[in-house]
Amino acid sequence: MGHSWSKRSEQKATRRQRTRAVRDDFMGEETETSLQDSQTTTKASSQIHSQDEGYGQFRVTLESLLTRSHTEQLATWFGYAPANIDRINRSDNPSRILVQCMDERGEISPTDISKLTEALKHKTIGLGGVSVKIEEAFANYRPMIDSTTVINAKTEFLRQLKQRYANQYDAVQPIPYIRDRLFCVDRVFVEGGIEYLIVNERTRVCERWGKLNSYNDIFLDENIKSVRRILEGEPGFGKSTLTLQIAYDWCNGIAGSVSDKYEILILLRLKQLGGVKSIFEAIKRFILPRDSSVSESDVKGILKESKSVLVILDGFDEYPEQEDDGSSDVWRIIKMDMFQVFDVVLTTRTACLPKDSAPQTKRIRLTGFDDRARDEYIRKVVVGDDEKAATTIKRRLQDNPVLADLCQVPLFFVMFAHMIYEREELEKFKSVTSFFRYMIWCFHHHMRNKMKDENVPKYDLFEKDHHVLDRIAFEGLSRKHQQLIWGKEELREQLGQDFYDHYVRLGILVEEKVIDVIPTSESLTVSNFLQEKTDVRFYHKLFCEWYAGNFLASRVAKDNVRYVSGNAIAKGYHRVLNRKDVCSILQELDPFDLQYVFRFACGLNPDASGKIIKYLQHKENAQNFAVLCILEKEGDIKTILDSIRALCFRTVEISYRDTLLLQRSTIQLLDFATTEEISISCVYLYNCYSTVDLPGGNHLQLKSNLSIPVLTTVKELWIREEAREITAEEFTGILQYSSKCLALKELRFHYCLLPPYVQAESVSVLRLRNVKVIWNSGYGVCQLNLQTYLWEHIDIYSRRVVGVMTDEDYKLEVSYIRQMQEEMRRSKAS
């Protein structure tokens, strides 16, 4: 006890002596020799500023302006440990201790005191007058920044950035369970499809997607020139891999890449930034090494003085703070309230776009692997010059029809290609679920071959029984702010040591060392607030969705099942679910963000699939999503056909809001229904139609570049294109397409401008089948007379003709469309 007290007294005395010496230095009471010694100890290589006379005088003035009450309020505001606050209060000079601590923690520096002044001005402290005096003192004493020191600090900062990025891009794992095979990203990166959203500059209407030749065009193409860009894509489409390739290009000075344009690259993973409000704190904690002497203030100063900066915020869909509460720099950057002259790229899933992005934001999307990209990956990464092996992989891909669609997803294709190359036998897959199940089996099989025989039974059990991991994954995804990262100790305690270690060795769970800020009562120095810890995540979010899908399937399969709440495990609490509870479980998940959870659940359990599909078919705007789940079902063909009939009995909508994967799956279902001669009541194309195949009219092309083949069993086709002007040639092509839809009874257009007349040959087949061509125009409803080829007004109630459309009538329609275009432009601009 006495020794502890004595040690604290010595520390306190030493701290007083150090502070008094600093004050004496700046008051001119030291010798010439001590001044020279002080100058030689300045760390010019790692700091933007020098601890010179101006800053020292400011600290002395600051001490005099802060009362004992102020120090207690500020220490509480900055989150000091209670024991430290008590020590400040008991000090003979609490303001001096607080100022020293604020300097060490970066809350004040020779170039920035904004954290202090913001705290003083906040309504909970209410010391605006004190803040004004402090700002005046800072302006008087602020030191001149030595240019040589700036250069040295910037050099060190850039070196640390490049080292951090090299550690990331040199450790790419195409197959996570083969841990000894790490690649540089440039060795495995292959460009897939990439597009940008074309917006009509006059009307501000999103018209269609245009193709980019290369990912470098994101930053170089004049069509998407902006300081704010969103890079979107479905799960597994390679968004994060692309950011690593960009980092590789920048670090290695690749000609024609971002290295030509940007002096500094900041790459942050948003999933790590939960609770981190300051972007400069994020850079310090998650990019720079733990022992870096570059402070948050240094980072701020370097960025401010840099000519060109690219900031990449990767994984908005995994960002814990999805809603803007006004306190996060990430949201300020997204809304362009911060870093206004920096180029910023935000990556995210298509279904999780930020609601309040800046109006200048350009949208780019990844569309996956086509045949060319798949062939390039096989030869570049998997087989090299082995032509026979390349042919075998492509043949096996063709032998699995469902994989043609699946392998547009780069993550799936990469694993598929490597698994084929590693294994002679390969089953045929009928769904995403069957493929993913096989992939998980490969993880365990690879590990089983490497372990001792006596461990096999235990690890077989881990492969089959993973219900705790299922529950953890489900509860993480079903939260309002999804939890995708867990602390190692917490997760290991829930899973058990052996299970946890096994899944880490498999590669399904991945450990990451991170720096965390942990308050401590032992010391006030900032170094003791930084502590290394181990976080754990799934190899990819899709793996989290796989185990969450297992949980959902088991819980929904039976109505009366026991559901154990994760928060109540320690209390042994569990309850019985009824039908209402099952519905409430489904409502916890957003099917458009977590589509694979629903799809996996439907593929894993037939009983669950029926209930999930029924739920989706009655959920607003989710009927089309049921398509994806129907295609996952395992069972007799009659059950699947009955589900498709039920869906096609209603209107099948394809919308511009739908993801590329959802549009593709809906088209696949329509094509399947046509092949099985299932009647399709109505297909509704909502602001997604682009053009028609000319000449011939053999398919309709969507703005997503997907095509709808001739649907011989569809009864009604509706096309809604707001403020769109359809040319005579295009209209003729649509009529030709419609004539090939043998069951078609009605073709209807909404809110677009059609030509005033048509050519006779384009309607001859429609006339023979008595197909009605309806135009819901701005001033009523018109029907095309297939005998005279003129538009006629019809009464909306009796459907009887009430007059022929005159030239004056048509001019009104043109005026209406022009007005709609202008209103849409103004609405977009505001």
DSSP per-residue letters across 290-307: TT----HHHHHHHHHH-S
Given a cut of 80, is residue 506 above it in pLDDT?
Answer: yes
CA distance 663 to 210: 17
Neighbours of 11 (CB within 10 A): 11
Look at 639 and 495; give whichever has higher pLDDT: 495
Torsion of CA 85, 86, 92, 94, to 10 degrees: 10
Check the CA dihedral 755-758-763-767 and report its sign: positive
> pLDDT-derived band of residue 192, with 50, 70 and 90 as boundaries?
very high
- pLDDT of 236-283, one tens digit each? 899 999 999 999 999 999 998 988 899 999 999 998 888 888 999 999
571-585 mean pLDDT: 54
Given a cut of 90, is residue 430 above it in pLDDT?
Answer: no
CA distance 130 to 66: 8
The number of CA neighbours under 13 Å toward the Cβ of 767 is: 13
Amino acid identity of 279?
I
CA distance 374 to 407: 8
- ω before 695 within 30° of 0 (cis)? yes
For 50, phi then psi, to 5°, come to -110, 140
What pLDDT sits at residue 39?
Answer: 36
Instruction: Classify residue 553 by its DSSP letter.
Output: H
Look at 149 and 535; give whichever has higher pLDDT: 535
What pLDDT sits at residue 28?
Answer: 36
Q: Give the Cα-Cα-Cα angle 653, 641, 428 (nearest 5 degrees).
A: 100
What pLDDT sits at residue 20?
Answer: 41
From residue 610, how far is each of 134, 590, 599, 602 by CA, in Å?
67, 18, 12, 8
CA distance 233 to 792: 45
Amino acid identity of 647?
L
> pLDDT-derived band of residue 185, with 50, 70 and 90 as boundaries?
very high
What pLDDT sits at residue 606?
Answer: 86
Instruction: Judge contact between 633 and 639, C-beta under 8 A.
Output: yes
Among residues 806, 740, 800, 816, the alpha carbon closest in space to that of 771 is found at 740
Where are the chain's structural domains?
2-145, 149-368, 371-429, 455-550, 637-829
- Name which of 186-190, 408-412, 418-422, 730-734 the model is least confident about: 418-422
Instruction: Judge contact between 364 and 223, C-beta under 8 A.
Output: no
Instruction: Judge contact between 302 and 279, C-beta under 8 A.
Output: no
Among residues 268, 279, 331, 275, the alpha carbon closest in space to that of 304 is found at 279
- pLDDT of 275-325, one tens digit each? 888 999 999 989 999 888 888 888 988 998 888 999 999 999 889 888 887
Among residues 812, 762, 761, the alpha carbon closest in space to that of 782 is found at 812
What pLDDT sits at residue 217?
Answer: 94
Cα distance between the two ends of the chain: 69
For 111, phi then psi, to 5°, come to -115, -5
CA distance 592 to 672: 23
Given a cut of 60, is residue 45 above it in pLDDT?
Answer: no
Instruction: Judge contact between 576 and 561, C-beta under 8 A.
Output: yes
Look at 528 and 141; give whichever has higher pLDDT: 141
766-795 mean pLDDT: 89
Taking phi over 0 as left and psi of -120 to 50 as alpha, with beta for the rest, 614 belongs to: alpha
The helix/strand/coil state of 725 is strand
Burial 563-578 (b: 16+ CB within 10 A, else e): eeeeeeeeeeeeeebe
- pLDDT of 327-366, one tens digit each? 889 999 999 999 999 999 999 988 788 988 888 899 999 9
Given a cut of 90, is residue 423 above it in pLDDT?
Answer: no
What pLDDT sits at residue 488?
Answer: 93
Given a cut of 60, is residue 592 above it in pLDDT?
Answer: yes
696-714 mean pLDDT: 89
β-strand pairing of 707-709 with 699-702: antiparallel
Rounded to a whole number, what is the largest CA-CA distance in the chain? 109
Neighbours of 51 (CB within 10 A): 19
- The pair of structure tokens assigned to 614 is 């029924």
CA distance 601 to 582: 13
Give the architecture-level CATH label for domain 149-368.
3-Layer(aba) Sandwich (3.40)
What pLDDT sits at residue 142?
Answer: 59
- pLDDT of 82-99, one tens digit each? 877 888 888 889 999 899
What pLDDT sits at residue 517?
Answer: 55
Cβ-based neighbours of 430, under 8 Å, separated by 6 or more: 402, 634
- pLDDT of 353-406, one tens digit each? 898 888 889 999 998 888 899 999 999 998 888 888 888 888 877 776 566 667
Mean pLDDT of all residues belonging to the chain: 81
Among residues 434, 413, 408, 432, the alpha carbon closest in space to that of 664 is found at 408
What pLDDT sits at residue 201?
Answer: 66
- pLDDT of 197-245, one tens digit each? 887 666 566 667 888 999 999 998 988 999 999 999 988 899 999 999 9
Cβ-based neighbours of 396, under 8 Å, separated by 6 or more: 420, 426
CA distance 671 to 677: 10
- The pair of structure tokens assigned to 251 is 């670090």
What pLDDT sits at residue 523?
Answer: 43
414-427 mean pLDDT: 76
- 455-550 adopts what CATH topology? Arc Repressor Mutant, subunit A (1.10.10)
Could you tell me where the beta strands, DSSP code E, fall in 124-203? 193-199
What pLDDT sits at residue 668?
Answer: 81
48-73 mean pLDDT: 78
What pLDDT sits at residue 570?
Answer: 33
What pLDDT sits at residue 110?
Answer: 77
List beta partners, residue 714: 680
CA distance 500 to 469: 9
> pLDDT-derived band of residue 829, with 50, 70 and 90 as boundaries?
low
Which secondary structure element, helix H or strand E, spans residue 812, and what is its range? helix 807-829
CA distance 582 to 395: 43
Q: Give the Cα-Cα-Cα angle 143, 147, 149 (nearest 5 degrees).
A: 85
Q: How many residues does the chain have?
A: 830
Neighbours of 146 (CB within 10 A): 17
The helix/strand/coil state of 525 is coil
Torsion of CA 86, 88, 89, 91, to 10 degrees: 120
> pLDDT-derived band of residue 453, with 50, 70 and 90 as boundaries?
low
Question: DSSP readout, 67-117?
Answer: -HHHHHHHHHHTT--HHHHHHHHHSSSHHHHHHHHHHHHTSSBTTB-HHHH
The helix/strand/coil state of 490 is helix
- pLDDT of 633-680, one tens digit each? 876 677 778 878 888 998 999 998 887 767 887 888 898 899 889 999
What pLDDT sits at residue 33?
Answer: 34
Check the CA dihedral 248-250-254-255 and report its sign: positive
Given a cut of 60, is residue 46 above it in pLDDT?
Answer: no
For 395, phi then psi, to 5°, come to -65, -40
What pLDDT sits at residue 203?
Answer: 58
Neighbours of 339 (CB within 10 A): 19
What pLDDT sits at residue 16?
Answer: 42
Among residues 809, 810, 792, the alpha carbon closest in space to that of 801 is found at 792
